[in-house]
Amino acid sequence: MSMQDPLSDMLTHIRNAGSASLTETAMPTSKFKKAVAEVLKEEGYIKNYTEKGKGVEKELVIQVKYYKRKPVIEGIKRVSKPSCRIYCGGKEIPKVRNGLGTVILSTPQGVISGTKAKNLNVGGEILCYVW
């Protein structure tokens, strides 16, 4: 079975792990997924992430973060899809939940959060919203 959209698969793994109250979830790794996991860690949505295995069988293991027995990630939504890409400029970066959430962008400077992109005044592809 081929995977058409690895990022939405990653987001679904994280969402399902939180709703099932799991401490961690594992998925096939890539540089792109690691970059998104790094942004989620910097913004405080996950505890940590690690790589396990060697070669082709490498897995990205994400530790889900909880607060008062509820997952910190209340919602996570894929915006730009392989069939319909969504872009924004440096001055048009959207707010998620009136500033209580985070937008993750793929920019020429790499995968970064919306607040960092605003400070750098750089736009790019809107990957997902996290709240």
- Domain match, 60 and 82 both: no
115 CB neighbour count, 10 Å cutoff: 13
pLDDT per position as a tens digit, 8-67: 999 999 999 999 999 999 999 999 999 999 999 999 999 999 999 998 899 999 999 999
24 CB neighbour count, 10 Å cutoff: 14
Domain boundary residue, one of 30, 56, 71? 71
- Looking at the DSSP assignment, which residues form a beta bridge with residue 24? 63
Q: How far apart are the first and last CA of the chain?
A: 31
The total number of structural domains in the chain stands at 2
- Output the domain CATH number for residue 66: 3.30.1370.30
Structure tokens at 28: 């096939």
